[in-house]
Structure 1
Amino acid sequence: MPSTLRDLPYRMAALQFNRIIEGMEIWSADSDGYSFAISFFERFAGPGFHERPGYVASWRPLYGGGGAIKIIGSPFKSFDEAEVACDEMLKHLLGDSRQG
């Protein structure tokens, strides 16, 4: 019997996002020591913001603090695209952590 779900060979990264603040377009999910967030921005304003509107996906380690890291491709046109990108990032992170 595997010691954790992470050890199961057929385990798929399937983050379950939940809206974290009612009335705001922000969703969160965590798995295997990582936290993911998806936020919707209709427009970017202010110094340094020069991106198109859409769903911004980011991740960070669940423990140990540190800032969030934006997932390449953000902002995405749809929530589904952002969710897939988060799942792929989790797979990548888990692959890297198993090799080290």
Structure 2
Amino acid sequence: MAMQFTRVVNPVEDMEIWNASDDGFSFVISYESRSGPGFHGRTGFVASWRPIHQNKCAIRVGGSPFRTLTEAEEACKAMLDHLTR
């Protein structure tokens, strides 16, 4: 089954976060902008990953931030492919 991202429901209404996990890895995509509500940073979709069963910090997926959610999802899938080879 392919990795499927789901939007995270959270109490902070203006934060946009999606997560997915597969093959022992967890991926998160968040939307950031320089101003306005939510996360602040370079405008775009920032993707990160970490091993599920290890207490380690998340690592940013190269190329972040991405222009679209689809680009960020594809980058995560490529990273998973690289990690599981």
* Bin for the TM-score computed over the shorter chain: 0.7 to 0.9
Of the candidates 65, 68, 79, which is equivalent to residue 89 of structure 1? 79
Q: Residues of 2 paired with 1:52 and 1:58: CA distance?
A: 15
Of the candidates 32, 35, 41, which is equivalent to residue 26 of structure 2? 35
Number of residues of Structure 1 aligned to a counterpart in Structure 2: 78
Q: Which runs of 5+ in 2 are unaligned?
A: none
Q: Which runs of 4+ in 1 moved over 3 A?
A: none
Q: Residues of 1 paired with 2:58 and 2:7: CA distance?
A: 18
Task: Report the alpha carbon displacement of residue 43 of structure 1 after superposing the two structures with TM.
Answer: 1.7
Tell me the C-alpha RMSD between the 2 structures: 1.8
Task: Report the alpha carbon displacement of residue 69 of structure 1 after superposing the two structures with TM.
Answer: 0.1
Over residues 22-66 of structure 1, what are the superposed CA-to-partner deviations in whole Å (9 max), with x where a residue is unaligned?
Answer: 43300000000000000000227xxxx8x5300000000011111
Which residue does 1:74 correspond to in 2?
Answer: 64
- Structure 1 counterpart of 2:68, which letter? S
| SS of match in other structure, 1:27 | strand
Which residue does 2:5 correspond to in 1?
Answer: 17
Query: Whose Rg is larger?
Result: 1
Q: Residues of 1 paired with 2:9 and 2:20: CA distance?
A: 13
Normalised by the size of structure 1, how large is the TM-score? 0.71
Q: Percent identity, please.
A: 51
Normalised by the size of structure 2, how large is the TM-score? 0.83
Given the alignment of the two structures, is residue 57 of structure 1 paired with residue 47 of structure 2, yes or no?
Answer: yes
- Structure 2 counterpart of 1:63, which letter? H
Q: Residues of 1 paired with 2:34 and 2:74: CA distance?
A: 22
**Greater share of residues in helix:** 1
